Amino acid sequence: MSMATDWARARRILCVRLDNMGDVLMTTPAIRALRGAVPDRRITLLASGSGAALAPFLPEVDHTLEYDAPWVKNAADDPAADRRMIEILRAQAFDAAVIFTVYSQSALPAALMCRLAGIRLALAHARENPYRLLSHWVRDPEPASPARHEVRRQLDLVATVGAAGPADTRLSFATRAEDRRSLHAVLRAHGLTRTDGWIVAHCGASAMSRRYSPARYAQAISLLKSRGLPILLTGSADEAPLTRGILAQCTARNHVIDLAGKLHLGELACLIEDAGLLISNNTGPVHIAAAVQTPIVDLYALTNPQHTPWQVPHRLLYRDVSCRNCYSSVCKEGTHACLDGVAPQAVVAAALELLDGRVADVRRPLVA
């Protein structure tokens, strides 16, 4: 039986994406392509705790399994959990697995897990010869060739097994009415009665190398007062000290509301969807904004080139540096020059251009 026939008959597909929420979101067009390629195909997503939180919002995914793999950064060391997951996968009797990775990651640990779980068909990029760990091996051309956007990398991968790209290649995030209702209750409790059009500023990021200076954020937020729009600060509960510090540094703050730690994921997505603009470091909310088509000012640290906002009006702000594409979570130079070279006035100018629909160098027209 040919490989094409094998994949055409595969109905129960395991999609493995074990890094962060934003990475899962950038994989949704490829998952959509896989699902649509064969009638009645069902998709199970194997994801980290961060990625699995997206489960209620991804229409392409039928079921989600949460697993913090030991070969992914910051995962717990629990061999018993690894054995349990292999048995869970075995019990699901998947026809095939697709392992999605960035080029700096190896797919082979996940491929071995799938093999031990009895999954015969497995597709992934690999730089080294995987021998029998992958039934379908796509040689990884990166980084020798120009790096592709993360979305394009995954679409190209699934196309090799007959899952041609869908007509709609935007990211997925389906917001819910109940989350919008609860969001409005939170906003009313903070004295905000309008229901859309605000600016969201997400000032944190999981990696220190991707964080714009809190003092510069405070300057930009203060300067945006002249626009007359509320600015809503977001972040996790762990980032609440960051947003409090930014608010304390604002010279004008009566237009700013600090919501860090006060929203769950569904509410945050509704807040971003109903915003006129998101200002953010390169982190998960940027990809939520791309999914819901909210324009983005992206303070884009030059740690890697593949994760820019996908198919949404945006401006990338950075200063070019010789150490670009360092793939580091901590600035190796100790200068944060690629972000610290961005003046708050540039953030404000980019924000006003997007709010006024004056940015031409984007892939989609401004969505009202």
pTM, rounded to two decimals: 0.92
Q: What is the pLDDT of residue 2?
A: 52
Six-digit token pair at 155? 């679409």
Tokens representing residue 331 in the block: 């600035």
Residues of the chain with pLDDT under 50: 1, 360-368
pLDDT value at residue 361:
41
Assign residue 311 a region (left: φ > 0; alpha: ψ between -120 and 50; beta: otherwise): left
CA–CA gap between residue 276 and residue 271 (Å, rounded): 10
Instruction: Indicate the domain borders of the chain.
Output: 3-159, 178-355
Cα(65)–Cα(74) distance, integer angstroms:
18
What pLDDT is recorded for position 305?
A: 78
Give me the CATH code for the 3-159 domain, please: 3.40.50.2000
Give the sign of the dihedral formed by CA 102, CA 105, CA 108, CA 114.
Answer: negative
178-355 CATH choice from 3.20.20.20, 3.40.50.2000, 3.40.630.10, 3.40.1280.10: 3.40.50.2000
Nearest to 209 by CA among 40, 68, 326: 326
Instruction: Tell me, yes or no, if the two domains 3-159 and 178-355 fold the same way.
Output: yes
Q: pLDDT at position 285, please? A: 96
Q: How do strand 63-66 and strand 231-234 relate by DSSP bridges?
A: unpaired
Q: At what angle do helices 240-249 and 214-223 cross, to 10 degrees?
A: 50
pLDDT of residue 358: 60
CA 321, distance to chain mean position in Å, is 24
Query: Which backbone phi and psi does 348 adopt, to 5 degrees?
Result: -65, -45
